[in-house]
Amino acid sequence: MTRRRARRLLLGALAYTAALLVALVFLYPYWWMLVGAFRRTRDVLSNPLRLVPEQIDFGVFGEIARIGGVDLWVYGVNSLLITSASTAVSVAITALGAYALVRRPTLPGFKLLRAGFLVTIMYPYMLLLIPVYVVMFKLGLLGTYAGIILFLALGPIQFFLFEQFFRAIPPAVIEAALIDGASEVTILTRIVMPMAAPVVATVTLITFLLNWSQWFPILVISRASDTYTLPVALLSMNTELGSNFQGIMALAVLTTLPPAILFVIAQKRVMAGMAQGAVKG
């Protein structure tokens, strides 16, 4: 009995060592980024391992207060606005769309639409560069928030999560309401959506986190840096005249912080939702 316990203790110690080691390696880049925001380029390059900055000096945020002729806060507001709006649009249209596709899968055109959507999400989107640019130009949406927001509104995980939830609603619930004479709109707003509230919350969270990271479509659809978000600004920070290494790290911290905080607060819901959305997809 004691030998088994000793063995278990040893195994436990091993498991913890392995897990903590991996976790530390995974977290290390964040620490490096944070410390790098306070260290001068020459210090970082000559002693990259230092774990605490030589000095705590917020001056770097003054240096990046204006990037590419646009104030830093504008990028922050853009990030918030574009991410929130595209999340709202995404949740609304995907919920409605998935609901209709689940309730009436065989209506003319519905199968085709679902297949078309699945194909769309498989396409290497970075290669849609010019076509999307042309489409946005033809629609008059080039360089507008509307163009960026609408483009970001499509996503696979959102769709699969909703589809899966609506499929799981017992048909009897809806049939009962129909017999009572409820209209489809009433059923949706009074019965289905209240039931779907947790899923809506999960999808909203996940979409927000995913869209916050987007950069390429925003870069392509923008005409000028006024509509850039934080990740796009981060990628555009180096020019032929030089690049502010410390500033890049500081901006990287600002870009990473909001989703990281949101995720840590809502960790259970995000992880459960992500797993669910993927598993049934």
Partner 1 sequence: MALSRLSATLRLLWRERIFYAFVAPFAVITILFGIWPILLSIQVSFTASATALRATPTWVGFANYWTIFADPLFTTSLWRTLVYTGLSVVANLAFALALAVLLDSTLLRRGNMAIRVALFLPVVTPDVAGYVVWRWLFDRSFGAVNAGLDMLGLPAFGGLSSPATATAAILIAELWHHSGFYMLIFLANLAIRDKQLEEAAAIDGATPWQIWRLIILPQLKPALLINAVYATIQFLKTFTVVVVMTKGGPNDQTNFVSYYAYQLFDQGRYGEATAMATILFSIIIVLSLSMLWISERSGTK
Partner 2 sequence: MRCLTGLTGLVAAGMLATAPVHAQQLTIWHDLGDNGIAWFQRMGEEFARTRPGVTIRSQSFPTEQWFGRVIGAINTDSAPDLIFNNYERVIRVQSQTNRLLDMRPVLAASPDRTFLGEAELRVATYRNRMLIIPIQRVQMALGVRKSWLDRAGEPFPQTWDDVQRVARKFKENPPPGSTAANTFGFALQAARPRDLIHMLDLFVFGSGLEHTLIDPAGTITIDRPAHARVLQEFLRTYTSYGFVPPDTINHSFTEMYQVIEGGRAGMFRVGDWNVRRWEQPNTLGGDFVVGPWPRFEAGRENAVVAGGMRGVAIPENSPNRQLAQDFARFMLSQPAQQASLEVMGAFVRNDLNVSALTPLQQWFARAQHRLVPSDFPEATHAWYPELEAAFHRRLLTGIANPPANGDWSAFITATAQEMREAAQRLSRNN
185 lines the binding site for partner 1 (CB under 8 A): yes
Site residues for partner 1, window 196-235 (CB under 8 A)? 209-210, 212-213, 215-216, 230-231, 234-235
- Which one of 1-9, 105-113, 160-168, 233-241 is the stretch in contact with partner 2 (CB under 8 A)? 233-241
40 binds, among partner 1, partner 2, none (CB under 5 to 8 A by kind): partner 2
- Which one of 3-11, 41-49, 173-181, 202-210 is the stretch in contact with partner 2 (CB under 8 A)? 41-49
Q: How many residues bind partner 1 (CB under 8 A)?
A: 95
Find out whether 99 and 162 touch, Cβ atoms under 8 Å. yes
Dihedral angle, C-alpha 251, 253, 259, 264, nearest 10 °: -170
261 lines the binding site for partner 1 (CB under 8 A): no
- Encode 182-194: b = buried (16+ Cβ within 10 Å), e = exposed: eeeeebbeebbee
249 binds, among partner 2, partner 1, none (CB under 5 to 8 A by kind): partner 1
Site residues for partner 2, window 139-178 (CB under 8 A)? 140-146, 149-150
In terms of CB distance, is 41 or 70 closer to partner 1?
41
Best CA proximity match to 250, nearest among 63, 74, 68: 63
Whole-angstrom distance, CA of residue 33 vs CA of residue 256? 10
- The distance of closest approach from Cβ of residue 22 to partner 2 in the complex, given in angstroms and rounded to an integer, is 27
**Residue written as tokens 């260290």?**
39
Find out whether 136 and 221 touch, Cβ atoms under 8 Å. yes
What are the Cα distances from residue 139, in Å, to 150, 170, 249?
Answer: 12, 41, 37
Q: Give the number of C-alpha atoms closer than 13 A to the C-alpha of residue 107, restricted to the C-beta side.
A: 8
Q: Is the dihedral of CA 97, 99, 102, 107 positive or negative?
A: negative
224 lines the binding site for partner 2 (CB under 8 A): yes
- Which one of 5-13, 27-35, 92-100, 259-267 is the stretch in contact with partner 2 (CB under 8 A)? 92-100
Site residues for partner 1, window 57-116 (CB under 8 A)? 92-94, 96-101, 103-104, 107-108, 110, 113, 116
241 binds, among partner 1, partner 2, none (CB under 5 to 8 A by kind): partner 2
Span between the terminal Cα atoms of the chain, in Å: 46
Q: Site residues (CB under 8 A) for partner 2?
A: 40-42, 44-47, 63, 66-69, 85, 88-89, 92-93, 96, 129-130, 133-134, 137, 140-146, 149-150, 185, 189, 219, 223-225, 227, 235-236, 238-243, 245-246
